[in-house]
Amino acid sequence: MTPEQCVPLLAECEALAAVAREVRSSPCWALMAAFPQRLAVDFDAAFVEGSPLAWIARNASKPGRADAECWVAHASTEWSQAHLEDQAEAIAAALLQALARVTNASSIEPVYAAAHRWRLARVLSPRREQCLWDGDARVGVCGDWLVESRIEGAYASGVALAGRVLASARDWRLPARAETAMPAQGELFESPQDTG
């Protein structure tokens, strides 16, 4: 979830909402392209400079993926912003040309190509905090926008928030009414009766 999407959910925790309001997301156009044969490059992923593209990866190089020659390409923030309202078909064509230049594969026609726009894709200046936590309200926030705009950042942030919740949980007490409404131990996970 992006910081912009967190703000309304944090209406009761103004301090956390204020942090989320400070962070801005930027767009990213992404391309998925499939080719009839393997592209003759000696890399499976690359950060790209001097191109509309910022990052490319051979999808089959990721663990557990099919062997099909598919590439994912992310456009740079600047290029994505400049072309934010362009049609997806025009974006796919432009990013395919950029991918062909980077991979020297202009003679290979893709069998599939599609572009997708993420309006709120990346945070350029993450907070560099593992997570946000309001112990009094028992509300926390995690996400890649707090640590770094990558899947690793999202994971690290989630783990950090889980640690904060667990550390705080030992001091929590349910209201008296909630405690009496709780099922007895074992009621939730009883084995089904043998009907045979």
Q: For residue range 101-124, what is the model confidence (pLDDT) as tens digits?
A: 999 888 889 999 999 999 998 888
Contact present, 33 and 70 (Cβ < 8 Å): yes
* In the chain, domain spans: 3-23+125-169, 25-123
Nearest residue to 128 via CA among 159, 149, 114: 149
The torsion angles phi and psi of 191, rounded to 5 degrees, stand at -75, 145
CATH code, residues 3-23+125-169: 3.50.50.60
Task: List all residues 6 or more positions away from 96 whose beta carbon is below 8 Å from its beta carbon.
Answer: 31, 33, 110, 113
Residue matched to tokens 């009766």: 193
Contact present, 129 and 144 (Cβ < 8 Å): no
For range 125-132, the mean pLDDT = 87
Give the per-residue pLDDT at 156.
Answer: 94
Alpha-carbon gap, residue 166 to 86, rounded angstroms: 46
Per-residue pLDDT of 129-165, as tens digits, reads 899 999 889 999 999 999 888 889 899 999 999 999 9
Alpha-carbon gap, residue 5 to 23, rounded angstroms: 11
In CATH terms, is domain 25-123 a member of 1.10.510.10? no
43 has pLDDT over 70: yes
Chain mean pLDDT for the chain: 87
Domains 3-23+125-169 and 25-123 share a fold: no
